[in-house]
Amino acid sequence: MYDFGLVGLGVMGRNFILNVADNGFTAFGNDLDAEKVNALIEEGGDKAKVNATSDVKTFVDGLSTPRKIMLLVPAGKIVDSVIEGLLPHLDKGDIIIDGGNSFFTDTDRREAYLKDKGINFFGAGVSGGAEGARKGPSIMPGGSRDAYQHVKPVFEAVSAKYKGEPCVAYLGPKSAGNYVKMVHNGIEYGLMQLTSEIYDLLKKAGGLSNEELHQTFAEWNQGRLQSFLVEITSEIFEQKDDLTDNDLVDMILDKAKQKGTGKWTSQNAMDLGIPVPTIDVAVSMREISALKEERIQADELYDRPTPAAVDKEEFVSKAEQALYFAFIITYAQGMHQLADASKEYGYELELGEIAKIWRAGCIIRAALLADITEAYQADEALRNLLLSPSFVEKVKDTVDAARELVGYGAANGIPLPGISNALTYFDAYTSSRLPLNLIQAQRDYFGSHTYERLDREGIFHTEWENK
């Protein structure tokens, strides 16, 4: 009998199951594709430790109870059909874990459906890509706390470790795990957009070559910006193209694809009434990037200023500060969304725990997450990172560089929607008085929508004199 089952032996699934086997658990894989089954058997070596089959009944019967079956299949209808295929063979108390990027309401639906049948269902976000799955991902499980006890030893063993601590924790009931992973991806979109804007500035205004960009990002990765995304960015600039003599980055089409998780984060933030403008604009920029043909046409119609000369060294230093500032703001927005979603959906999320399991293994891992963890550990009820005393100096030290670069971008025709949105969010969030009193006046003027007052309680309406 195998300890752990895994359905879906694509790259992620194969790597995850080999990771499980490496950590002393026996594992059984399942995939309809015989080639994938054979590939795993071959790579796994010892069949007593890791084996695979295309037959669902053989697979389920080969697992010790309560069965722990993880699905690493594409989100959507496939998850439902895999569940239907497993169901006739399962026993009450068995556990199914969906490790894909499923939409959180799908997870709630599946959990309720399976609960009726006595099956425990987990939505567990898994981050870290193929390499993470093999060597240690960050895992974000949500579902029944009791059932999690059966899964915990495996997840703790296979997950990434931050100074010895596993990057996995039970996050909350229902779809808490998928929700947290969705927001992780929203933050991922934001950080990627910001990095691309800094690249644009350094290249167009700073005149940095790819080699210099490589060195700059590598250096930044040794400091407070240390993160997976900064690290891989540095490596990307070094890559030569196989097909031409150029650097690969210069040959890649500037149209970014998306599978939807960033968009879901943004959409849901709107539903909750939580502002996450840096994430919103990161999604919009992928959409603008897709309009390549129109962009080419429009480029012909409008002039663009030639970027003004800058002091290279100083510009690079400002870019580092602005990126750090905007990274903080992006995490702040994502964490703020999690805090509100937790109340709205009854997830009982502990934000300090979430920041903690993001410190290693996942795509948004960064030195900053150790500071974010501490900020939430110091105050679990923290409404926004910007309100944490430990972040005030970090922000104060770097915001002026963001102002300068945003001004430079606007004057010189370099689009910086992520950095400027981060700055605008900061300026608005830290303003005790915004001009939205005028919007209230307008609403009352044309639609008698009423308003509240600064000086007394109640709801007011005015018969506007010149109407």
Q: Which residues are catalytic?
A: 181, 188
Query: In the Cβ-directed half-sphere of 282, how many Cα atoms lie within 13 Å?
Result: 32
- Residue 467: CB partners within 8 Å, gap ≥ 6? 445
Q: Does 231 bind ligand 6PG (CB under 6 A)?
A: no
Q: How many CB atoms lie within 10 A of CB 420?
A: 22
CB of 89 to ligand 6PG, least distance (A): 29
| CA distances, 461 to each of 266, 271, 442, 444, 466 (Å) | 34, 28, 11, 7, 15
Q: How many CB atoms lie within 10 A of CB 229?
A: 20
- Asked if residue 211 lies in contact with residue 224, where contact means CB atoms within 8 angstroms, the answer is no
- Residue 273 annotated as binding site: no
Q: Does 129 bind ligand 6PG (CB under 6 A)?
A: yes
- Exactly one of 15, 30, 185, 234 binds ligand 6PG (CB under 6 A); that residue is 185
Q: Segment contacting ligand 6PG (CB under 6 A): 29-37, 123-131, 158-166, 393-401?
A: 123-131
- Residue 269: CB partners within 8 Å, gap ≥ 6? 186, 275, 276, 279, 280, 333, 337
CB of 289 to ligand 6PG, least distance (A): 12
Q: Does 234 bind ligand 6PG (CB under 6 A)?
A: no
Q: Does 261 bind ligand 6PG (CB under 6 A)?
A: yes
| DSSP strand pairing (120-127 vs 138-142) | antiparallel
- Would you say 66 or 74 has its CB closer to ligand 6PG? 74
- Exactly one of 27, 187, 341, 363 binds ligand 6PG (CB under 6 A); that residue is 363
- Asked if residue 203 lies in contact with residue 197, where contact means CB atoms within 8 angstroms, the answer is no
Peptide bond into 275 cis (omega under 30): no
- Residue 443 annotated as binding site: yes
| DSSP strand pairing (95-98 vs 68-71) | parallel
Q: Segment contacting ligand 6PG (CB under 6 A): 103-111, 252-260, 265-273, 344-352?
A: 252-260
CB of 263 to ligand 6PG, least distance (A): 8
Q: Segment contacting ligand 6PG (CB under 6 A): 257-265, 320-328, 338-346, 391-399?
A: 257-265
Q: Does 127 bind ligand 6PG (CB under 6 A)?
A: yes
- Quick one: which of 55, 63, 25 has its CA closest to 37? 55
Q: Segment contacting ligand 6PG (CB under 6 A): 88-96, 125-133, 293-301, 380-388?
A: 125-133
Q: Does 266 bind ligand 6PG (CB under 6 A)?
A: no
Q: In the 8-state DSSP scheme, what is residue 66?
A: S
Q: In the 8-state DSSP scheme, what is residue 247?
A: B
Q: Write each residue from 284 to 323 as x if it is in contact with ligand 6PG (CB under 6 A), else as -, in one continuous string.
A: ----------------------------------------
CB of 24 to ligand 6PG, least distance (A): 25
Q: In the 8-state DSSP scheme, what is residue 451?
A: B
Q: Indicate the residue type of 458.
A: G
- Would you say 124 or 386 has its CB closer to ligand 6PG? 124
Query: CA triplet 150, 335, 258: central angle to 5 degrees?
Result: 85
- Residue 101 annotated as binding site: yes
* Tokens at 326, concatenated: 């905007």
Q: In the 8-state DSSP scheme, what is residue 223?
A: T
- Exactly one of 145, 259, 295, 396 binds ligand 6PG (CB under 6 A); that residue is 259
Q: Does 101 bind ligand 6PG (CB under 6 A)?
A: yes
- Quick one: which of 301, 327, 45 has its CA closest to 190? 327
- Residue 129 annotated as binding site: yes
Q: Return binding residues.
A: 101, 127-129, 184-185, 189, 259, 286, 443, 449
Q: Return binding residues for substrate.
A: 101, 127-129, 184-185, 189, 259, 286, 443, 449
Residues that bind ligand 6PG (CB under 6 A): 101, 127-129, 185, 188, 257-259, 261-262, 362-363
